[in-house]
Amino acid sequence: MAGRDLASVAAEAAVCTRCELASGRTQVVFGVGSARADLMFIGEAPGRDEDLQGEPFVGRSGKLLDRLMLEELGHDRSGVYITNTTKCRPPGNRDPLPDELAACRPWLESQLEIIDPKVIVTLGNFATRLILNTREGITKMRGREHSWNGRVVVPTFHPSAALRSGGGQVLAEMRADFVRAKLAVRRAAAESVLATAR
């Protein structure tokens, strides 16, 4: 990966045919945001709107994600990086299959290596299980920080779960997780300043 930047990896991914999802996509939905973000959001897979527009989280779930970011983190999506475990839309918005997740994982690993976020928020079961290598569900994993490869991982619900449930408890717990992520980013920034000063 040495010497490669996000744009060149995105250009490679744009013509990827490593799995069956290539045949049904309009385009690869690689990711959006800052290549120097301290905070990365990882969702599941692109839906119809994302497949058409080429950007993750642009439908109803994306609007909720944007709202939570603004209200709990205090900024818009330009200050973070947003991507999915799988970069092409599964047909009919079905769940991504294990072989598709495995085939797409190197793209995510490249993104993590280049962006090097201090904190990762995994949105829902797929991203949480993939990153933390667990079979546990999101309800059990959320509500606390996890450590992975020197980074802090904060699992939370996928915004679609909050939409399905009509808000309420799920939304309140998502807000708490976003605050948890914000504090983890601040802590990492403070630690990095201290390390530089030593």
What minimum distance in Å lies between the beta carbon of 95 and ligand SF4? 13
Q: Does 6 bind ligand SF4 (CB under 6 A)?
A: no
Q: Does 73 bind ligand SF4 (CB under 6 A)?
A: no
Closer residue to ligand SF4 (CB): 19 or 68:
19
Binders of ligand SF4 in range 26-45 (CB under 6 A) = 28
Cα three-residue angle 84-86-90, rounded to 5 degrees = 120
Determine the Cα–Cα distance for residues 83 and 117; give it in Å rounded to an integer.
13
For the window 85-114, what string marks contact with ligand SF4 as x by the rule CB under 6 A?
Answer: -xxx-----------x--xx--x-------
- How many residues of this chain bind ligand SF4 (CB under 6 A)? 15
Q: Does 19 bind ligand SF4 (CB under 6 A)?
A: yes
Nearest to 138 by CA among 152, 154, 120: 154
Determine the Cα–Cα distance for residues 1 and 103; give it in Å rounded to an integer.
18
Chain residues binding ligand SF4 by CB under 6 A are 13, 16-19, 21-22, 28, 86-88, 100, 103-104, 107
